[in-house]
Structure 1
Amino acid sequence: MRRGERLPALGRLFIAAAAAWALAAALPQAQAATLRVANQGDATSMDPHSLNESMQLSFTGNVYEPLVARNRQLELVPGLATAWKMVSPTVWRFDLRPGVRFHDGSALTADDVVFSFRRAAGEGSDLRSYLAPVREVRRVGDLAVEIETNAPYPILPDVLTVVYVMNRAWCEQHHALTPVDRRKGIENEASFKANGTGPYRLRERQPGTRTVLERHAGHWGPVEGNIDRVVFTPIGNDATRVAALMSGEIDLMEPVPLQDAARLAAQPGLRVMQGPEMRVIFLGMDQKRDELLQSDVRGRNPFRDRRVRQAVYQAIDIEAIRSRIMRGAATPTGQMVAPGVRGFLPELETRLPFDADAARRLLTEAGYPAGFEVGMNCPNDRYVNDAEICQAVASSLARVGIRVKLQAETKALYFQKVLSRNTSFYLLGWVPGTYDAHNVLATVIATPDGRGQGQFNLGGYSHPRIDELTARIQSESDPARRSALMAEALKLHAQDIGHIPLHRQALAWGLRRNLEVVQRPDNFQVYKWMQMRP
């Protein structure tokens, strides 16, 4: 079995978290408990293939499971597969765990895995980019499958950690053979119902109001925590979410409003857990259309000109965003990957300087001496202070003549719009699910090809050399050569200003002192690891 590499940049954090958990696990088990969780937004669907978003995948990952999982240190560990190996340069074999049953009692078989991978790779799935390199998934026994790729794909096990397995018969019965298509606002029974193999089963789903999970007594894995019931409530208003934690109505909340972190940490019985997150917050621009959808410029697209992209970059007062909007809980960055991700380049951390005068000169050189008007799409309940960040960007750009018409809305509406590419300028955050820069290159930066590549390259940025390098990175097995290829691709993207990275936000969870949790830098909340003490 091949296991994932340790992430050295975050090693000390992981070791400390693991030690804390080991100490907690050594104590006598408390009685079963209900965990009440609040987040600023809701999981948009119970369909595990409907949206490639970490909050969505985190929540449904408690109900559904992948072939290959990650432990508290983000290392690869057996999930629904007990072992895996490369049997040829383009074929991997996965041996399935015997005795696993879905929540309705159906036994897990290779047919379910084959069905799930075809579903996740098909039309309407938001996970197509992960499976774009896969040629075929085939059954080679009741409890074994082979995955054949178009070319050697050495990080395939890393990729599969977010591809969850569904029951074929259940999907047929519930008219959910294809995923929910968030771009079209289409829903099916898998939006509101679920039948996974995970440690928790869905008991109640009221979108936007309340979702209840209960411990699945028949789960194949060990009972590591004592949470037998989870009540998840989206609370969009920061003050209301904080008040709910302080009054004892909830036990865990995320994110903690930055202005309230110190006050919450000082409250008896409460604490704030803070740590680094692998998420990069960035701006994207429509560079594909001949004319922007939302602009007063006719007959041409300003964002196709690198000088305009650089002007936008240098017009943004990133220090004001870091200090005032993020209250210091953000690290400005000049690249699209974070420390701990394979391919991270310290030399790309330095951003282009904030320089409004230089931005005006660049706009004049590009033929826009008076600036221009452009629409901007932004969520208001997905990232830390997302709407405020967009407002700050709009204010900065106004000083150089770029007039931003900002539309900030709930992520359910936001994602439906931007995933349809009906946007000219947008804010997005990204954590590579593989913890490897190839994911960012293939999914966010590479030219969209309609088969999964560039699926989240919502502005249609295109650079032939980066596409060539991305394809080579996918197949390269030599670590040194692979690192060199990733470095070249990321440097080219930074030089071309294909996107505008802003910062990495910090994690901040507010919780009761008697609740033991594991806070991973991918911001996944794994309920089976949580322990409520008396």
Structure 2
Amino acid sequence: MNRFGLAVVTAAMLALSSVAAVAQERVFRFATTGDILGLDPHMHNHGTTNAVKGVIYGALLHRKPDLSLHPDLAVSWETLDDVTWEFRLREGVVFHDGTPFTASDVVYSFRRTSQPGAEMSATVASIEDVIAIDDYTVHIITRGPDPILLLNLPLFFIVSEQFMEANDSFQVSAGAGATNFANLNANGTGPYRLVEWVQDNRLVMVPNEDWWGHADRTDNIDRAIFMPIGNDATRVAALLSGEIDMMYPVPLQDVPRLEQTPNVEVMQGPELRTIFLGFDQHRDELMDMPGSGVNPFKDLRVRQAFAHALDLNAIQRVVMRGASTPTGSMIAPGILGFDEDIHVPYEFNPERSRELLAEAGFPDGFPVTLDCPNDRYVNDEAICTAVVPMLRRIGIDVTLNAQTLSLHFNKIGPTENYNTSFFMLGWTPGSYDALNVLQNLITLDGPAQGTWNSGRYTHPRIEELHDIIAVTVDPEERMELLREAQQIHKDDVGHLPLHQQALAWGVRTDRVVEIIQRPFNDVDLRYVTLR
């Protein structure tokens, strides 16, 4: 977590700024590489999207930038037995349309979030039922002892039953940019209200003066304008010209220049996201090899060949300019369940790659398309561009398909039935616990499992371990089980972890007094103060 302060300016400047403050509202303009995917709080498990949902909608608990949990719509909680939690709800809360918040909204939100197709269903997958005891008490019944229930609740967003039902919006709709009512409109209890969302142009929010915490808020924004700016040079130019007050990520090649620019601060720190590649291990025939009846990725030796072909140190040095940590793990340092031994990357050995391909019956390689976003992660397309010659060196005929994040996620995800053979994805576990990775990326066999397991990878022992870990309360035993699952996955080359990227934000210090950089690389407006 990084903070910075601004120096005191002259009396004359203070006078001028005071006059300007009377005439102008405090507007915070910020930008990142791509737009949100939608406003439906129970769809689109995507970092930028969740950050916007997180200030519009309330949840039972709120996660502060230091990852600690604090009351939001629940004021207290306790366990009544191994599977029953009692939550006392905050009284006097209203939704943005003035509708009172009650326990029935929590029950309704659980039903809506847990329906098939809801991407946020993983946050409530361990819950069997939610029961309203009275207007301000709910019981949450879990499927078994759940050591991380509270860690998931900050992303269990609460909607107004009355609002959703009045607009026939119980059902979720898949796909980035879906035009159903819930994806285009928002009515939460959070600290900010939606004013307008013009897709791929701007999203405008204003403070919710009826928010339960309004009297104690420390942010002083009158209006927040989020603007997706995909082009790196354009985004940097907007920061330098003062068109925007903050942007992320800073293109790595521009960090030194911005560090020398007056009134600009570059904030850097570790991120908890792992960037990785995945393979289609489900289809019997690779989509790039029609008529062959063969899917090479079902052979462990082929996956091992790909692992040994990638020079992660070169990617770190040349593409990432040192701002990444090569890894062999799907779990980043700082996530509960991280293991230092598994973190060690696969050995770079292209000669061994060629031997493995020959052993697998592909001495001349095979064709494959690499699906990659070009506006989601730091240097995402450049990383994929670097991977292409590394794989061609061992005989793989790679075609790069790089496109904007909404199209990319639709293609490789459930919207288009995982229409990919080889893909890039990045993941930060929303619970900050390794089980989230097993649940979303590495298993298939259970409720809300495998939503972003785009290659449909599965292993019977990992499926079994997932279910055991989910109800194991003893920390040491749980760590051993997590380690076993991760080791099996690594030995099986279920995915190809590349690195954990570093955070780099650019902030105009002549406009922003304080902003807190969260390790999940998004902006929470609660922690922004303007001049």
What TM-score comes out, normalization by structure 2 length? 0.93
Helix, strand or coil: the match of 2:129? strand
After TM superposition, list the pairs within 5 Å mapping 1:374-453 onto structure 2.
374-419=368-413, 420-449=417-446, 451-453=447-449
Match of 2:480 in 1: 484
- 8 A contact 2:65–2:519 mirrored in 1: no
Take 1:254 and 1:359, find their aligned partners in 2: how far apart are those partners? 37
Q: Which moved more, 1:255-264 or 1:169-178?
A: 169-178
Q: Alpha-carbon deviation of 1:513? A: 1.1
* 2:346 is the counterpart of 1:360: no
Take 2:39 and 2:525, find their aligned partners in 1: how far apart are those partners? 16
Amino acid at match of 1:472: I
**Cα deviations by residue, 1:363-414 (Å, 9 ceiling, x for unpaired):** 0001100000012211111111111111111121111111112211111111
Match of 1:526 in 2: 524
Match of 1:470 in 2: 466
Amino acid at match of 2:322: G
Match of 2:185 in 1: 193
Q: Alpha-carbon deviation of 1:174? A: 2.4
Of 325, 339, 345, the match for 1:331: 325
Match of 2:71 in 1: 78
Structure 1 pair 297/271, CA: closer, same or farther in 2 (3 Å)? Answer: farther
Q: Which moved more, 1:376-385 or 1:293-302?
A: 293-302
**Cα deviations by residue, 1:54-83 (Å, 9 ceiling, x for unpaired):** 111012111112111112311111111111
Match of 2:144 in 1: 151
Match of 2:11 in 1: none
Amino acid at match of 2:394: V
* 2:90 is the counterpart of 1:97: yes
Match of 1:109 in 2: 102
Amino acid at match of 1:517: I
Amino acid at match of 2:186: A
Of 51, 58, 80, the match for 2:51: 58
- 8 A contact 1:297–1:373 mirrored in 2: no
Of 200, 225, 228, the match for 1:231: 225
Q: Alpha-carbon deviation of 1:448? A: 4.6
Amino acid at match of 1:433: G
Amino acid at match of 1:263: R
Take 2:498 and 2:219, find their aligned partners in 1: how far apart are those partners? 37
- 8 A contact 1:295–1:375 mirrored in 2: no
Take 1:174 and 1:389, find their aligned partners in 2: how far apart are those partners? 43
- Root-mean-square deviation (Å): 1.9
Of 38, 47, 63, the match for 2:40: 47
The runs of 5 or more residues in structure 2 that have no matched partner are 9-13
After TM superposition, list the pairs within 5 Å mapping 1:200-239 onto structure 2.
200-221=192-213, 222-239=216-233
Helix, strand or coil: the match of 2:222? strand
- 8 A contact 2:335–2:434 mirrored in 1: yes
Q: Alpha-carbon deviation of 1:180? A: 2.8
Take 2:341 and 2:133, find their aligned partners in 1: how far apart are those partners? 47
**Cα deviations by residue, 1:66-119 (Å, 9 ceiling, x for unpaired):** 111112311111111111122111121111111111111111111111111111
* 2:280 is the counterpart of 1:286: yes
Amino acid at match of 1:40: T
- 8 A contact 1:124–1:178 mirrored in 2: no
- 8 A contact 1:448–1:460 mirrored in 2: no
Take 1:337 and 1:162, find their aligned partners in 2: how far apart are those partners? 19
**Cα deviations by residue, 1:197-224 (Å, 9 ceiling, x for unpaired):** 1111000110011110001111111211
Helix, strand or coil: the match of 2:55? coil
Take 1:72 and 1:306, find their aligned partners in 2: how far apart are those partners? 40
Amino acid at match of 1:531: T
Of 343, 359, 367, the match for 2:337: 343
Helix, strand or coil: the match of 1:347? coil
Q: Alpha-carbon deviation of 1:270? A: 0.5
- 8 A contact 2:112–2:170 mirrored in 1: yes
Take 1:157 and 1:297, find their aligned partners in 2: how far apart are those partners? 49
**Cα deviations by residue, 1:304-340 (Å, 9 ceiling, x for unpaired):** 1111001011111212211111111111001011111
Take 2:34 and 2:347, find their aligned partners in 1: how far apart are those partners? 34
Amino acid at match of 2:501: Q
Take 1:395 and 1:81, find their aligned partners in 2: how far apart are those partners? 53
Amino acid at match of 1:202: L
Match of 1:510 in 2: 506
Q: Alpha-carbon deviation of 1:274? A: 0.6
Amino acid at match of 2:419: N
Helix, strand or coil: the match of 1:531? strand
Amino acid at match of 1:460: R
Q: Which moved more, 1:127-136 or 1:427-436?
A: 127-136
Amino acid at match of 1:399: R
Take 2:111 and 2:404, find their aligned partners in 1: how far apart are those partners? 30
Q: Alpha-carbon deviation of 1:523? A: 1.4
**Cα deviations by residue, 1:237-266 (Å, 9 ceiling, x for unpaired):** 111110000000000101111111111121
After TM superposition, list the pairs within 5 Å mapping 1:249-288 onto structure 2.
249-288=243-282
What TM-score comes out, normalization by structure 1 length? 0.93
After TM superposition, list the pairs within 5 Å mapping 1:147-186 onto structure 2.
147-182=140-175, 186=178
Structure 1 pair 448/378, CA: closer, same or farther in 2 (3 Å)? Answer: farther
Match of 1:3 in 2: none
**What's the % identity of the aligned pairs?**
46
- 8 A contact 1:448–1:457 mirrored in 2: no
Take 1:297 and 1:53, find their aligned partners in 2: how far apart are those partners? 36
Helix, strand or coil: the match of 1:61? helix
